[in-house]
Structure 1
């Protein structure tokens, strides 16, 4: 049986083909690689001879991939990207110990940043970079080492492990609670200004879903305060604008500090949970392994406190 290396065409031809198939232009491929267009045409011709099939259809002033060309293009693109990502990881490990973490604005602000100094004190040689955005970055691009996400754990770009589930309940400032009157049941909330935030996340629990869980019909016209982000909603509640929905692990510190208070004993569990996600093709990076160990311990401590 031939070795894998002997079954492959020359690497030069594959490199040229990858550029030409990605750019769909022999001229642009030549400019990118730094050779002549004739050299690109020659390498493609040799590759087609080797494989015994055409990879491109030559059209007027342009080229198009054949079906077999498309298959080889997908394979070479994946293979070259994997090699590039692995080399980038190796260079990063050799040059520095930077670790890039992605999380939502709310999770970063209320949970991660208040605790991340514990990790930094234990591992001062690791330079942390936190990418804060509510849109999930695609881990296949190799720009993020670890992502913390809320959802069902089913993401195609990485391997997910559960951190903790959550509970959602109404919260407000102590000053607002003193002036709001008696609020003992979910139905008592509809006459108060309810603070909400905009989101496209189907897993997110808003006021309509929360109140419906207790068979409370929300009137068409209710006092309220609407924000763009969850962090803004919590700060509005801190400043006495009304009542927001608190997520256990996001408002835990604010409740402990007495800056927010919980209203009623009513709570619901959202449909999703928090997960830590690592890229499917993650290079075995020591900094990422250490961060995952710390994150699991920190999440277990958080769960124990909320259960207690």
Structure 2
């Protein structure tokens, strides 16, 4: 039978072996599963990438993906990351890039909101949801642009909702708060499920496309080719 001193010693020995075992497991996992870090806008991460993560795992079972959502410009010289999905390419002019898609917006409300209005009254009387990206607003088509392109008179100002985050604006539209100029690549699931409905096929393109960008050093990382091929395949382009 162990003495109290022996029991105390056994506890420390057991903890030490547990730590060694955990370290061994982590080392094996690190060796078997390279980790790559991808930064992108939260809206793109949530609405465009997350629904396809099962395909990532199916295609790349041996690579860990760390997905970070951010609105900030990323500095690859001072912060650790392997890839970024960026809106436009001017901020990352020195990086390698792949074109992903050039998004467009078109008017989409919820079925519940449509039921409250009739025909053209929907766009002239229903609340409009406005999205204002502080630093990028000039690149995002707004309602005034859409009415001008449609060649119809802009309706009299109505009480509306203004958001600075795409996800907030989309959630508001799904909840029936108003009509949003939804980004086609971000509302695919809502259109498929019927929680948002296209009420006019006139679409306006963003002024800048989205790219996948990475520094040259990223290509030396194990498994780095998969994060390039995956979003390019998802976007449906290899240009």
Q: Which sections of structure 2, spanning at least 5 residues, go unmatched?
A: 1-29
* Residue in structure 2 matched with residue 158 of structure 1 by the alignment: 95
Shift of 1:221: 2.8
2:170 is matched with: 234
Q: Greater RCO between the two (CA within 8 Å, min separation 6)?
A: 2
Contact 1:153/1:161 (<8 A) preserved: no
User: Aligned with 2:150: secondary structure?
Assistant: coil
Q: Which runs of 5+ in 1 are unaligned?
A: 1-92, 302-308
Match of 1:82 in 2: none
Cα contact 1:151–1:203 (8 A) shared by 2? no
Contact 2:219 2:225 in 1 (8 A): no
Does the Cα contact within 8 Å between 2:99 and 2:212 map onto a contact in 1?
Answer: yes
Deviation at 1:132, TM superposition (A): 0.2
Candidates 53, 57, 76, aligned match of 1:139: 76
Give distance in 1, aligned partners of 2:155 and 2:109.
21
Structure 1 residue 127 displacement after superposition: 1.6
Matched position secondary structure for 1:287: coil
Deviation at 1:253? Answer: 1.5
Residue 107 of structure 1 pairs with residue 41 of structure 2 = no
CA distance in 2, matches of 1:281, 1:197: 36
Greater Cα offset, 251-260 or 138-147: 138-147
Alpha-carbon deviation of 1:254?
1.0
**Against the structure 1 CA distance between its residues 153 and 161, is the aligned structure 2 distance closer, same or farther, given a 3 Å change threshold?**
farther
The match for 1:189 among 98, 123, 135 is 123
- Report the secondary structure of 1:262's partner residue: coil
Contact 1:192 1:243 in 2 (8 A): yes
The answer as to whether partners of 2:102 and 2:209 remain within 8 angstroms in 1 is yes
SS in 1 for 2:77: helix
User: TM-score of the superposition, structure 2-length normalised?
Assistant: 0.77
Q: Please say which structure displays the higher CA radius of gyration.
A: 1
Q: Which has the higher helix share?
A: 1
Whether 1:209 and 2:149 are equivalent positions in the alignment is no
Q: Given that residues 170 and 243 in structure 1 are in contact (C-alpha distance below 8 angstroms), is that contact kept between their aligned partners in structure 2?
A: yes
Q: Which residue number in structure 1 is paired with residue 6 of structure 2?
A: none
Q: Note if contact 1:153-1:162 (Cα within 8 Å) is conserved in structure 2.
A: no
Deviation at 1:289, TM superposition (A): 0.9
Show the counterpart of 2:187.
Answer: 251
Using structure 1 for the length normalisation, give the TM-score.
0.61
Q: How has the CA–CA distance of structure 1 residues 283 and 222 changed in structure 2, closer, same or farther, with 3 Å as cutoff?
A: same
How many equivalent residue pairs? 207
The 2-side partners of 1:152 and 1:217 are apart by 35
* Alpha-carbon distance, 1:217 to partner: 5.2
Cα RMSD (Å): 2.5
